Amino acid sequence: MKRQSMIEYGEPLQETEVETPAPTGTEVLVKITHCGVCHSDLHMHDGYFDLGGGKQLDVRAGRELPFTLGHEIAGAVEAVGPDAAGVSAGEQYAVYPWMGCGACAVCTRGDEHLCKVTHHLGTTVDGGFASHVMVPHPRYLLSMEGLDAKLAGSYMCSGLTAFSALKKVAPYLEEGPLILVGLGGVGMMGLRFARALYDTKIYGADIDPAKRQAAIDAGADEVFDPSEDGIRKTVLKASGGGVSAAVDFAGSEKSLQFSQSVVRKGGCAVVAGLIGGNFSLPAPMFPLRALAILGTFVGSLTHAREMLDLVRAGKVEAIPVELRNLDQANNALTDLREGRVIGRVVLTP
């Protein structure tokens, strides 16, 4: 099998070739048809996340080089192990990449993505910038029926992140409204999921007027510019004392500062974005405001299935896709890093 692999962190990807493995036990060998190129691939390629104040979170541990990035994978079953039930060669699937050990309490309650064993395709084990990928069990294969093959893999990342973040605010929404902060690709998916899931007022916030307008066009009730003077008071006034929940799809110091500041007493702010930075809040504010700040990381297999049902029901508008050959993986990373990509670049091995 051919791969576009990271030979050294931060250096251009190179083609590597290894023997295509044969599936054993419950394994399923998938011939990749599409793999999306994502911002998290850039972080993995860098080898670190920015923590603000000049600090970095090193994410190079536990990964042997050469390593193959790519976690937004869709493809067709090529071969199945003797114990892999329910799938046959030729069937098309999106691959759930956030696998755990499959056996611990966290995994058995359905939260494999939070297992301390991270068997994550394209981030801890070799992923989808390749002609093939080995999937350890058929349960990670999600039906592609009614889905656009070009985008099916990408839903496992940005779509799932947006959907799962939105599910976390459910217990807080009785008094509404909900505000979504950061209206890029993930935030806009979040807006559409929020519209489908909840019957509450939904606000949007972004510093970019074009993104605010796009949110209005997609059904946001009101939009705000977080960089405007006195914006906190404006939001508190509009919402009658604060929103009940905020989802921060940016995840920067400024966005989280703003997101939590407009949440009313007893409300919550969910952090989904990974832009980076350092956020601080005086400790007494947590009890005095009965404030919850939660992180969310991708989502569970159950959420993945529920999310794909909403996609099939037409609740998510397709993003623009540019297809490129697998050997263009490195250029795709560079273009993404330099802000030249609109929508998603999807590699076609």
Residues that bind Zn ion (CB under 5 A): 38, 40, 100-101, 104, 107, 115, 157
Least distance (Å) between residue 39 CB and Zn ion: 7
Least distance (Å) between residue 101 CB and Zn ion: 3
Antiparallel, parallel or unpaired: β 202-205 and 222-224: parallel
How many CA within 13 A on the CB side of residue 92?
14
Please list the alpha-helical segments (H only) found in the chain.
39-46, 105-108, 149-154, 160-168, 185-197, 209-217, 231-238, 253-261, 285-288, 301-312, 329-337
104 versus 218: smaller Cβ distance to Zn ion: 104
Least distance (Å) between residue 154 CB and Zn ion: 7
Residue 270 near residue 168 (C-beta atoms within 8 A) = yes
The CA distance from 249 to 257, in Å, is 13
101 versus 274: smaller Cβ distance to Zn ion: 101
For tokens 């990670």, the residue is: 140
The CA distance from 99 to 140, in Å, is 8
107 versus 181: smaller Cβ distance to Zn ion: 107
Least distance (Å) between residue 144 CB and Zn ion: 18
267 versus 273: smaller Cβ distance to Zn ion: 273
Buried b / exposed e over 10-44, threshold 16 CB at 10 Å, is eeebeebeeeeeebeebbbbbbbbbbbbbbbbebb
101 versus 207: smaller Cβ distance to Zn ion: 101
Buried b / exposed e over 58-71, threshold 16 CB at 10 Å, is ebeeeeeeebbbbb
Least distance (Å) between residue 54 CB and Zn ion: 26
101 versus 236: smaller Cβ distance to Zn ion: 101
Least distance (Å) between residue 346 CB and Zn ion: 12
Least distance (Å) between residue 106 CB and Zn ion: 5
205 versus 346: smaller Cβ distance to Zn ion: 346
Task: Write the DSSP symbol of residue 244.
Answer: E
Q: Compute CA 348 distance to the chain's CA centroid, rounded to the nearest angstrom.
A: 20
How many CA within 13 A on the CB side of residue 141?
29
